[in-house]
Amino acid sequence: MMIYIALLRGVNGGGRNKIKMAELRRALEAIGFSQVQTYIQSGNILFESNEREESLQKQTEKRIEEEFGF
């Protein structure tokens, strides 16, 4: 498995695009990411996956849109 870091832009900043980190971890675990960890409340994510980087980006974007509406 490869270890990845995702830095989400615009999450929990200025009172907009609020996501609880526990909910974000669960959402990403639901699409197959392993060992999902978040750092502070800014949307910084560490996880493991066997998928290719391009696929991970698309999956992450789609899941966040479906789960959180942005």
Exposed, middle or buried by CB within 10 Å (0-12, 13-18, 19+), for 2?
Answer: exposed
Q: Which residue has the higher pLDDT, 13 or 65?
A: 65
Of the pLDDT bands very low, low, confident and very high (cuts 50, 70, 90), residue 42 is: confident
Q: Rounded to two decimals, what is the model's pTM?
A: 0.88
| Integer Cα distance of 31 and 14 in angstroms | 28
Q: Which pLDDT score, from 0 to 100, does residue 15 have? A: 76
Answer for the pair 17, 10: CB distance below 8 angstroms, yes or no. yes
Tell me what pLDDT residue 13 has: 79
Strand partners, 16: 13
Domains of the chain: 2-55 (3.30.70.1280)
